Amino acid sequence: MLNKILPAVKTVIDLFAAKLPAEQHAPVARAILTLRRVRQARNAAQQGVAEGGLTERLAALGITDAPPNWAAAWDIIRAATVDALTVIRHELRRWIDSPGA
């Protein structure tokens, strides 16, 4: 299934790059990077702390206590995910509402 998901993500990223104005590329790229970091942390958690590099993946999301307080870590991950999706939605709406879109 992952083989089907990753090409779809690349297609969406390529579409953003082709369609969105240049000034919108940076916020969308940062949001996508955040979503990738969340996915990497989830994958690392499934593999275990040592084997999957969970500590490093969580640190990339701003979670620096290891092992983390899972309730607090989940709040940070949830907020980062919501913020990233909100940025993408906002930038897409901005593009759709712009003249000539």
3-state SS assignment for residue 99 = coil
Q: How far apart are CA 58 and CA 71, in angstroms?
A: 13
More confident residue, 27 or 13: 27
pLDDT at 88: 92
Element (H, E) at 66: none
Could you tell me if residue 38 is inside a domain? yes
Query: Which range marks the domain in which residue 81 is found?
Result: 29-95
Residue 37 pLDDT more than 60? yes
Helix (H) and strand (E) counts for the chain? 5, 0
Could you tell me if residue 47 is inside a domain? yes
Could you tell me if residue 62 is inside a domain? yes
- Domain total for the chain? 1
- As a whole number, mean pLDDT of residues 21-43 equals 90
pLDDT classification of 5: cutoffs 50, 70, 90 = low
> For 62, phi and psi rounded to 5 degrees?
90, 10
